[in-house]
Amino acid sequence: MKQIAIVDVGSNTAKLIALAYEPGRRWRQLDELRAVVRLSEGLEAGGALQRKPFARGLAALRTFASYARAAGVDDLVATTTSAVRDASNGADFVAAAQAIGVDLRVLGGEEEARTGALAVANGLGVRDAVTLDLGGGSFQLVELRERRWHRGGSWPLGAVRATDRFLHGDPPKGKSLRALVEATRAAVDPWFAAGGPVGTFVGVGGTLRNLANVHQKRVGYPLDLLHGYRLPAADLAALATELAGMTTAQRAAVAGLNRDRADIIAAGATVIAAVVASAGVPEVVVSGQGLREGLFYPYLLPDAPDHLLDDVRTFSVLNLMRQYHDDPAHNGHVRALALTLFDALAGVHGLGPAERELLGHAAWIHDVGMAVDYYRHEHHGLMLTLGRALPGFDHREQVLLALLVRYHRKGTPSVDGFEALLAPGDLARLTTLAGMLRLAEYLERGKAQRVTGVDVELDGDEVRVLARSEGDVHVEVEAASLRRDLLAAALGRRVTVLGRDEVDP
Amino acid sequence: MKQIAIVDVGSNTAKLIALAYEPGRRWRQLDELRAVVRLSEGLEAGGALQRKPFARGLAALRTFASYARAAGVDDLVATTTSAVRDASNGADFVAAAQAIGVDLRVLGGEEEARTGALAVANGLGVRDAVTLDLGGGSFQLVELRERRWHRGGSWPLGAVRATDRFLHGDPPKGKSLRALVEATRAAVDPWFAAGGPVGTFVGVGGTLRNLANVHQKRVGYPLDLLHGYRLPAADLAALATELAGMTTAQRAAVAGLNRDRADIIAAGATVIAAVVASAGVPEVVVSGQGLREGLFYPYLLPDAPDHLLDDVRTFSVLNLMRQYHDDPAHNGHVRALALTLFDALAGVHGLGPAERELLGHAAWIHDVGMAVDYYRHEHHGLMLTLGRALPGFDHREQVLLALLVRYHRKGTPSVDGFEALLAPGDLARLTTLAGMLRLAEYLERGKAQRVTGVDVELDGDEVRVLARSEGDVHVEVEAASLRRDLLAAALGRRVTVLGRDEVDP
């Protein structure tokens, strides 16, 4: 595995993420360092970075460089965006960074927008979308078409800068809030008017993640996952109004709100709500990936066209499998057997390509919980599958995958606790798919691919599963027979499992 | 890693466990197969295994052998005990096993007892103890002195056989229960009378584990761990009386009781309670390791004298570390720094060798949660540390270790939910140890052992920690300074962290 550290000195926060990766195959996060630098504090339009913010930004870079040396990363990628880009003494900051050994790249507005768009294309798997990335200094809008940057814009109305330039009083005066909304609308209304209908509306950045976190706490969201969360536009607008009516101290006490942002989130939320209103969309899909991940994809996918993942969902699933239980022979064989059962029983279960795809993905990852322990590994697997973003899947799909992992070997499927995320009929879908996955898993009980394939015979109300092999598959046939009840109940048929040699004359 | 499958065809249950191990260093369980064979069903004293139990036992062996071939284990160790040993046609069973390719070893009574004793010595770390291992066919008593087998005995009063021979009626008649108690006491009273005072009383086997499980559910035990559980003798006696007064159907509905055992647990519990009464001990310590693990230790520890672990507690901790986060350089350096702090501050914190040992062990495993994810790895580490037996530690110590892992990097220590297991003063101990562990962890922020050591200066109410190094330790000193508050609060002193170069003239 190679290691890389990606640094972004933003207008509000400087952050380092350390990642381990194998190009084209997998990656995982190793570490994270964070410092609130407020680089754009007191920065006038066309003016200079002030002394204290300059020193804070440099101190963060010194820490990050020291960490990167100690950790021995293969690459250190350090960038900065609008605060340094727009400051009259930005070149001095770059030179000061150079003097402490950091090669700091100042991203142009379009480059920043393109980089963020790459993260959204790979991280959410969206094809056509508009992305709003609001940082401390500025925000960017990008229109993605066919997963690629189509057009974009950047405006110096990030959360820190908008607070400094517009808001007065604590709580902020109504007049100052209205001026901020007007300035935002004046900036983005023409941009939206110039484009076609907005498809998926994606939101990036710490301010939006924080708003989504507050929202999740209020609705009692059953998952601890921000990436892919759908925040209704009406709730976002109400939350922005609520936060703008509070003092900083009151905001700091709001459940789920990060105290570091209590002073700037009123402006940030106001700007986001105004942009969303201008877009006229019903909801914002949160992206947990942004600029830093966008900077990483060229390293992860050096050979892919435009550094785009070929298939976001499959990559997510394989990345999960490779991190926790990299046994492609067993997992792939369970997958092949499960899909054979699915296809042979299509006329009985009546499920379609969406369910077939989920079954195949679940088979890849069914054993990830073994990384924790053999005992209860189906429970550990549920936890691991829900424990992080699974790019390309929405939360309903991710829950269904996790429940397939949970029920791949034992237990009667239940969706308790996840009902709010699921669709009508999902329990029945889950039960049928788990029934097939379980049969496939036990047909691979020896983990040696001894059952080379299955033939399925339908005879009245009986389903006969015949295990093909070139030798002893006693344990597999017996194990599958003992676990056939779930599938039988799901299909409302008798299920029998036999070795091919037990039926051939 | 080598792989081994250990099979034990017991009188009630046949079981296979598959383990991966590196001799002398580590092991983990990979898989488990289980079949209820009731081998001794209908077996008269001196009589023959009956046709059906014989066939069930052989079918289980056929499955296990098939599994072992498929899994490609390096060794298959298959044994059987009293049912085959005592049956007039035991040799036929061994021959039938041979015919399907299984080299089945019939353990003699003393060999069985010695093997189980090895598991208890390595698995609980006890020095002087009496062990009761009750299976389906027989039970063994062993006296351990200095961790070694001293004397033992075996009686054909296992749960299945005692049910067959003694109990009549459902619920069993009082007279038949009294006869079973009398037979048990007649067997073991002389054995206990011939020995010295009983030290730790250890219980092994499925019947006892099941009784302990029922007890844990009733008292709302905060851990899901049977190994090391202390079951009070009075509660055990009451539970045995309660179960003996029920029908099989009523027992099957008892929370925590395994339905497979509902018909034989009344006899099993009655025998155990009678033996415990004869021993006159206040509690039984449950061992989750038994015969199968005893058969494994010669493979794990081929070179150790008598296959005994040199240091059970250290082996447990290193085994945990090696499974999840095998980074001995970082973990060992955090350990060295933490112990240096502990020793230098001995006069301030007033803690002793027991706490010092826990701190050192916690340092080895503080990062195990990284195996799940970087984010929240301190929470994952808590779960992993409590997720399985940690041989050699009692449950209080295991909880303290898990809480040290939980609080090694952030959070204010709390013992919520674990109060029932802890001793007075444990929250203060935890807080002080976590304060030192946290400082050590951040002095190793770069994970590169750049802080080569620490000097501690005590000056009035100030503790000055001076980081020695041969180069840049900016990130370590800064990170440790940011995390010194917990230790400062625990000691009631100011804590400052400085690089050596910042104080030398």
**Partners of residue A32 in chain B, C-beta under 8 Å:** 374
B118 Rama sector, left if φ>0, alpha if ψ -120 to 50, beta otherwise = alpha
User: Given B29, B384, B448, which is nearest A71 (Cβ)?
Assistant: B448
User: Given B66, B70, B387, which is nearest A447 (Cβ)?
Assistant: B70
Q: What distances in angstroms separate CA B293 from CA A424, B5, B120, one per listed residue? A: 48, 11, 9
Closest chain A residue to B444, measured at CA: A70
Kindly state the tokens that stand for A198: 């907005």
pLDDT digits (tens, 9 = 90+) for B238-282: 999 999 999 999 999 999 999 989 999 999 999 999 999 999 999
User: Given B28, B69, B475, which is nearest A63 (Cβ)?
Assistant: B475
**Are residues A384 and B371, on separate chains, in Cβ contact within 8 Å?**
no
pLDDT digits (tens, 9 = 90+) for A464-489: 999 999 888 888 999 999 999 999 99
User: Given A67, A373, A475, which is nearest B475 (Cβ)?
Assistant: A67
Q: B-side interface with A, Cβ within 8 Å? A: 28-33, 62-63, 66-67, 69-72, 371-375, 383-384, 387-388, 445-448, 450, 472-476, 478
Domain B110-292: CATH class, spelled out: alpha beta
Kindly state the tokens that stand for A214: 């507050």
A169 Rama sector, left if φ>0, alpha if ψ -120 to 50, beta otherwise = left
In this predicted structure, the answer to whether residue B156 has a pLDDT above a threshold of 60 is yes
Confidence of residue B505 (pLDDT cuts 50, 70, 90): very low
Alpha helix (H) residue ranges in A22-126: 51-71, 82-86, 90-99, 109-124
Q: How far apart are the first and last CA of chain A?
A: 53
**Partners of residue A476 in chain B, C-beta under 8 Å:** 70
pLDDT at residue A185, as a whole number: 98
Domain B2-106: CATH class, spelled out: alpha beta
Closest chain A residue to B479, measured at CA: A63
Q: What percent of chain A has pLDDT over 70?
A: 99
pLDDT digits (tens, 9 = 90+) for A302-311: 999 999 999 9
Identity of residue B288 = G
Size of interface A-B (CB pairs under 8 A): 81
Would you say the CATH fold of B110-292 matches that of B2-106? Answer: yes
User: Given B62, B387, B447, which is nearest A373 (Cβ)?
Assistant: B387
The minimum CA-CA distance between A28 and chain B, rounded to whole Å, is: 8
Identity of residue B188 = V
Q: Could you tell me if B206 and B260 are in contact, meaning their C-beta atoms sit under 8 angstroms apart?
A: no
**Are residues A372 and B371, on separate chains, in Cβ contact within 8 Å?**
yes
The minimum CA-CA distance between B87 and chain A, rounded to whole Å, is: 28
**Are residues A475 and B66, on separate chains, in Cβ contact within 8 Å?**
yes
Q: Token match 């803690």: residue? A: B351
Kindly state the tokens that stand for A23: 């190009």
**Are residues A448 and B29, on separate chains, in Cβ contact within 8 Å?**
no
Q: What is the rounded distance in angstroms from the CA atom of residue B488 to the CA atom of residue B472?
A: 25
**Are residues A28 and B374, on separate chains, in Cβ contact within 8 Å?**
yes
pLDDT digits (tens, 9 = 90+) for B489-503: 999 999 999 998 765
pLDDT at residue A503, as a whole number: 57
Q: Could you tell me if A267 and A261 are in contact, meaning their C-beta atoms sit under 8 angstroms apart?
A: no
In this predicted structure, the answer to whether residue A502 has a pLDDT above a threshold of 80 is no
Confidence of residue A505 (pLDDT cuts 50, 70, 90): very low
**Partners of residue A445 in chain B, C-beta under 8 Å:** 67, 70
The minimum CA-CA distance between A467 and chain B, rounded to whole Å, is: 15
pLDDT digits (tens, 9 = 90+) for B83-130: 899 899 999 999 999 999 999 999 998 898 899 999 999 999 999 999
**Partners of residue B5 in chain A, C-beta under 8 Å:** none
Kindly state the tokens that stand for B502: 């910042």
What is the topology classification, in CATH, of domain B312-502?
Hypothetical protein af1432 (1.10.3210)
Whether the bond into A171 is cis, omega within 30 of 0? yes
* Other CB atoms within 10 A of residue B503 CB: 12
Confidence of residue A41 (pLDDT cuts 50, 70, 90): confident
In this predicted structure, the answer to whether residue A184 has a pLDDT above a threshold of 50 is yes
Kindly state the tokens that stand for A168: 């007065």
Across the range A142-148, mean pLDDT stands at 94
Domain ranges (residues) in chain A: 2-106, 110-292, 312-502
pLDDT digits (tens, 9 = 90+) for A413-429: 999 999 999 999 999 99
